[in-house]
Structure 1
């Protein structure tokens, strides 16, 4: 794929923009409305005025029947120099596509706690801002430790997320996940899981989650739009409980929703 963006684009020079990552199967973006709404909300939060139609048309142009990971990036575009420009032009909207494989599903994850901290008080804590250096450095730590991902704690030492996923734990028969005030992203699959769980008779608690609680949980799993649900099996070398009928039930229902929306059957476990 070839495209050109100005070297003066603020996304390139300042990381001034937001993005979204979605899964497309059979020519349909799974949970498309949720993805578009979240991206528009993120743009509004940082003052980028972009029309829904631009995002929708860019997504449509990138769709093919092949299973695809779609990344939609929106920047403030090209403006005069300075952190806050006196005037702005049209935002830049780009959708890039990468192949997706069902082999990504069901892989278990080993985690290491990142040395850095996620700032839950930052105005961008709940936005997929394109400046991802904190997560990149944490991912490097995970790679150097020979594991799959890094757990990010917030400034108060509580669980926020991993570099690319939201975190869930089954504790006392309830599904626990950090609330947005803990510094995590409002993940699309996170939202779907929180909707699905009560339908399966599982209460959801969005609350502060201490890292030590993960070790005693009945199950720990991760969520994002590319891998959907991923069991976590270890943290800092200590085993985590990953096998759970709860996770399998959530996977089954999520798979049914993918099939209903995209017309493609997936086996998540």
Structure 2
């Protein structure tokens, strides 16, 4: 546990991180039966918190996982944790599990969920990245789990390990149809004829928060993205709640001029100004 994580919020109360305890029988630990949200904290405020909490609630409903606190209570808890740590910049994580249960896959009828919030220092800004297209695993666009941030990230871990072994900083995942879905930790956008395009959720893309913000622009939309579309794009970039990374090369081939393009640069400025 990070030494900077001095205080956490666990099941309704703030307490020193060293005193926080999760039951060994918690299904989040034993089965990955849970969800999480990662939220950028800037200027002492959890950015787009309402969208994150709405996604958490929707995902919990999809899994039949009780959400033990209302949205207003969760927002107040996040604000209390930020204030308790006195941290203006950082990364807030909300982890929700189904809580403890007997052995077996079927959830208990009387589930008592575990809800943990942590806050750590923000990482350094991520710069441009080169990626590979993962060969070791694919994104399952037919699974409802592709639409939630579940505690099981093993496909992303496999893909990211493969990228590291191949000397790249990120991995892109294909779906079952052989089209691009997203990266191991971010949504994918390409720029084609000046328009921003991202794979639809039906193609296996997570409904990311920053992705949704960009799609609200007039010059952005959804479309299936093939490998040829990506390699022939004018620009490409990756987005998640913590920021935006220009994608310069894929499998050794430059995207566009192989430099940060104008559309990507403008979006980077927008993120920095939040």
**TM-score between both structures, scaled by the size of structure 1:** 0.88
Listed as ranges, the gaps of 5+ residues in structure 1 are 259-269
Asked if the contact 2:25–2:100 (Cα under 8 Å) also holds between the matched residues in 1, the reply is yes
1:78 paired residue among 72, 94, 100: 100
Listed as ranges, the gaps of 5+ residues in structure 2 are 1-16
- Output the CA distance in 2 between the equivalents of 1:86 and 1:72: 22
Q: State which drifts further: 10-19 or 23-32.
A: 23-32
| Residues 65/86 of structure 1: CA separation in 2 closer, same or farther (3 Å cut) | closer
1:1-269 equivalence runs, <5 A: 1-2=17-18, 3-50=20-67, 51-52=69-70, 53-63=72-82, 64-101=86-123, 103-105=124-126, 107-115=127-135, 116-195=137-216, 197-198=217-218, 202=219, 204-226=220-242, 228-241=243-256, 242-256=259-273, 258=274
- Output the CA distance in 1 between the equivalents of 2:116 and 2:225: 36
What is the CA RMSD across the aligned residues, in angstroms?
1.5
Per the alignment, in what secondary structure is the counterpart of residue 88 of structure 1?
A: coil
Post-superposition CA distance 1:135-168 (Å, at most 9, x none):
1111101111121110000000101000000000
Asked if the contact 1:178–1:184 (Cα under 8 Å) also holds between the matched residues in 2, the reply is yes
- Output the CA distance in 2 between the equivalents of 1:155 and 1:119: 6
**TM-score between both structures, scaled by the size of structure 2:** 0.86
Larger RCO: 1 or 2 (CA < 8 Å, sep 6+): 1
Aligned pairs, number: 249
Asked if the contact 2:174–2:182 (Cα under 8 Å) also holds between the matched residues in 1, the reply is yes
